[in-house]
Amino acid sequence: MMGNGVVAQLQHLDVPNSLGAKVVGRKKTRGGRAAGAEKGGISLRHFSMKVCGIVESKGRTTYNEVADELVAEFSNTDFPHVSSDQPQYDEKNIRRRVYDALNVLMAMGIILKDKKSIQWKGLPSSDVGNVADLKAEGTRIRGRIERKVAYLHELQTQVAGLYNLVSRNEQLSQEKKAPHRVVALPFILVQTRPHATVELEISENMQVVHFDFNSTPFELHDDAYVVKTLSSQEQRTARTQ
């Protein structure tokens, strides 16, 4: 059976009857379309649903197989409002409608056509699958947003720490308390036990540094960590004063 998604999409097709059935009681609407066209015959929408059902049931078929089956079906079908002297169906129109319906289904991605072969494909995914995919994508997006927010907060903290450091240095300079030696940014701080024995080797070009802590635990900190720590200490000191 066709899924609700297929039926819903096919329901939006609106092409008036052209199978040759005579329609009585026509009522003109704005634009000149006959309001009773679908009542007296078979619309492309209805035809597409029939063609869709045949291809789905067969899995793989051809245009001629589908057209022959529908020609046989409509040749034995009594259309309402058709006079006895009017042909109940037109084989050429039926075959043309089958061709049009197959093109519609192919454009919707419901079937695949390879030369004369027609293969049922179905909808790309079910509604349940789409919901699950959207939820998973939403979770991934929220995760990325949370990481970016955390990174932005870290950058804001670093900027605030640098401003505090600049203000502190300016104050020390004005008070003639500025140290004679300064540490330029950026830098790496190596931290270990106070009485640890550390062997240090530095290359002649000062590009390679080798540490040997002799199994003593150690930590590495960048300048952002140091500036943040200094800023936190100054804030705690200011609150206690």
User: What digits encode the pLDDT tens for the residues 123-173?
Assistant: 665 566 677 888 899 999 999 999 999 999 999 988 888 888 888 888 888
Q: How far apart are CA 146 and CA 118, in angstroms?
A: 48
Higher-confidence position of 32 and 184: 184
- What tokens were used for 60? 């793989």
In CATH, what number does 4-124 get? 1.10.10.10
Give percent of the chain above pLDDT 90: 11
Q: What is the pLDDT of residues 36-52, one digit of tens each?
A: 344 445 667 777 888 88
pLDDT at 62 over 50: yes
pLDDT the model gives residue 147: 96
| Rounded-to-5 percentages of helix, strand, coil across the chain | 50, 15, 35
pLDDT the model gives residue 82: 44
**Regarding the domain with residue range 145-240, which homologous superfamily does it belong to in the CATH classification?**
Transcription factor DP (1.20.140.80)
pLDDT the model gives residue 24: 39
pLDDT at 18 over 50: no
Q: Looking at the DSSP assignment, which residues form a beta bridge with residue 191? A: 219
Q: Where are the domains of the chain?
A: 4-124, 145-240
pLDDT the model gives residue 129: 66
Q: Name the helix (H) or strand (E) containing 11.
A: none
Place of tokens 């640890």: 196
Identity of the residue numbered 132: A
Write the CB contacts of 44 (distance below 8 Å, at least 6 apart in sequence): 13, 14, 15, 97, 100, 101, 104
Return the number of other C-beta atoms located less than 10 Å from residue 49's C-beta.
19
3-class SS of residue 42: coil
Give the residue ranges of DSSP H helices in 59-204.
63-75, 91-107, 127-174
Write the CB contacts of 168 (distance below 8 Å, at least 6 apart in sequence): 230, 234
